[in-house]
Amino acid sequence: MTTPSTTTTSSPSAVHPSGTPGRRGSLGPVGLVLGAGFSVQFGAALAVSLMPRAGALGVVTLRLIAAAVVLLVVCRPRLRGHSRADWGTVVVFGIAMGAMNGLFYQAADRIPLGAAVTLEVLGPLALSVFASRRALNAVWAALALGGVFLLSGGGFGRLDPAGVAFALGAGAMWAAYIVFSARTGRRFPQADGLALAMAVGALLMLPLGVAESGSKLTDPTTIALGSAVAVLSSVLPYTFELLALRRLPASTFAIMMSLEPALAATAGFLILGQALSAVQAAAIAMVIAASMGAVRTQVGRRKVPIPPEA
């Protein structure tokens, strides 16, 4: 899974007077984004290894609760002074976040991590294609569908159908997450909306996690591992991306986010022993290429540079 993102451009300090990116200005933010990506996917791999102990819904419940506690303590969001529309937006954002995580973890419990993320990324890709409304994006959509066809082995016979459905559902929730993340960011200062939405998502998943895992959620080892998943999948990536986006162009950031399926496949191989066949690797590469192409097409439409973050 991926993490929240913002749109910004690099600051002047990241560029030399000659106009070329400085060594620290270019490698620093890129390293942070890659670190965030690896952290998210290795956190997901750790979550998969924890599922036999606590179940998929139990793991996502522990992750969301731990992440919500950290964000609420750090951000200390103000509860008063918000309109009904503000609260409606943050509640829908939290529902999308909880559903996205719950569906993804159900998928990762059934199909390889690389395949789950590849199918999930179709949600943001579809959102980008529809938002752009350019003919060229039909090419990227076709390329992505070709990759999914290869990944499915010609009919998803090699992948658990329920896992595929959960991954596609997570992708739809990821697209909704992106839309309501932007709306929440406009209504709440700093990361207050994110902290409140994370709490909503945690409350949404809590009864489901308790119903599936019960007393297993109170086991100290399970709590510790779930907290580690929260740190790897939420706290560290959010921090790294926030720092990176102060100096990194939004287009570069978005393209790097397209590498998530490859990072997931790497984490799945190193931690879970989920090896990819040559055909599966080619399929993931096609979806990554389609995502990058869609991002570049979207950025190419802009007539003026994106203003820097305030």
Element containing residue 213 per DSSP (H, E): helix 192-213
**pLDDT at 138 exceeding the cut of 60:** yes
pLDDT per position as a tens digit, 57-104: 998 899 899 889 988 998 899 888 889 999 999 999 999 989 998 999
Residue 191 is predicted with a pLDDT of: 81
Nearest residue to 100 via CA among 193, 268, 214, 234? 234
Domain boundaries in the chain? 27-300
**pLDDT at 304 exceeding the cut of 50:** no
Residue 99 is predicted with a pLDDT of: 93
Q: CA 259 to CA 243: how far, in whole Å?
A: 19
> Do residues 41 and 263 touch, judged by C-beta distance below 8 A?
yes
Q: CA 75 to CA 71: how far, in whole Å?
A: 6
Task: Work out the mean pLDDT of the chain and round it to a whole number.
Answer: 76
Q: Which residue has the higher pLDDT, 211 or 264?
A: 211
pLDDT per position as a tens digit, 197-237: 999 999 999 999 999 888 888 889 888 988 888 888 877 88
Q: CA 141 to CA 284: how far, in whole Å?
A: 14
Report how far apart, in Å, the C-alpha atoms of 34 and of each of 80, 97, 106, 226, 243 are: 37, 22, 25, 23, 12
DSSP states along 8-65: ----GGGB-TTSSBPHHHHHHHHHHHHHHHHHHHHHHHHHHHHHHHH-HHHHHHHHHH
> Dihedrals φ, ψ of 117, to 5°?
-70, -35
Nearest residue to 280 via CA among 156, 153, 165? 153
Q: What is the mean pLDDT of residues 30-57?
A: 85
Q: Which residue has the higher pLDDT, 147 or 79?
A: 79
Contacts of residue 35, defined as CB under 8 A and 6 or more positions apart, other chains included, come to 236, 240
Residue 157 is predicted with a pLDDT of: 58
User: Which of 39-43, 97-101, 305-309 has the weakest average pLDDT?
Assistant: 305-309
* Range among 130-134, 152-156, 211-215, 252-256 with highest mean pLDDT value: 211-215
Residue 249 is predicted with a pLDDT of: 64
Q: Tell me 15's DSSP state.
A: B
pLDDT per position as a tens digit, 150-169: 766 655 557 788 998 999 99
Report how far apart, in Å, the C-alpha atoms of 122 and of each of 64, 71, 142, 174 are: 23, 28, 12, 9
**pLDDT at 306 exceeding the cut of 90:** no
Q: How many CB atoms are located within 10 Å of the residue 301 CB?
A: 10
Distance of CA 130 to the CA centre of its chain: 20
User: Which of 96-100, 132-136, 265-269 has the weakest average pLDDT?
Assistant: 132-136
Residue 156 is predicted with a pLDDT of: 54
Contacts of residue 304, defined as CB under 8 A and 6 or more positions apart, other chains included, come to none
Q: CA 285 to CA 109: how far, in whole Å?
A: 23
Residue whose token pair is 């709490």: 199
Residue whose token pair is 């203003």: 307
pLDDT per position as a tens digit, 280-302: 778 778 777 877 776 666 655 54
